[in-house]
Amino acid sequence: MIRKMTAEDRTFFLRAADEFYHTDAVEKPLSMERLNANFDEVMRSDVYLEGLILEYGSERAGYCLLTKTFHTEAGMTLWIEDIYILEQFRGKGLGKELFAYLDEHYSAKFGRLRLEVEDDNEIAVALYKKNGFRFLEYKQMIKDIKE
């Protein structure tokens, strides 16, 4: 089951997000202060950042963070910032369920879904391709203003 994140999910989110941000799938770990700020923003409003909890049976199995932007090429764009499924729940169809949920709940408002993935994360790449994602043919650049 996929559901909106609630205040009761803080401990789970912090633990899972900290685990995620210590993997090779991200550029660098995030501080607990930053993770708490992310959760606080999810609880404050869903205007910029929205949180979903993925459940398997009655257990929290993962989370997803979504941001909303406007792109001139596609209009409203839903960025999938984080998808993280705890190891013991991988391969149980939660990724497929998440993308079905996103299609059902967001396709009327958004012209594009967008995400980032490491080239060598073959399992994730296969899942994303299976759900209609394709690689863009250009590189993105960033400049961090605040750490």
CATH of the domain at 47: 3.40.630.30
How big, in percent rounded to 5, are the helix, strand and coil portions of the chain? 35, 25, 40
In a domain, 135, yes or no: no
The H or E element spanning position 102 is: helix 94-106
Range(s) of the domain holding residue 69: 2-130
Number of domains the chain is built from = 1
In a domain, 136, yes or no: no
Confidence band for 24, pLDDT divided at 50, 70 and 90: confident
pLDDT above 70: residue 147 = no
CA distance 128 to 135: 10
pTM above 0.95, yes or no: no
In a domain, 79, yes or no: yes
Query: Whole-number mean pLDDT of the chain?
Result: 95
Which of 6-10, 22-26, 114-118, 125-129 has maximum average pLDDT?
A: 6-10
pLDDT above 70: residue 138 = yes
Q: What is the mean pLDDT of residues 106-117?
A: 94
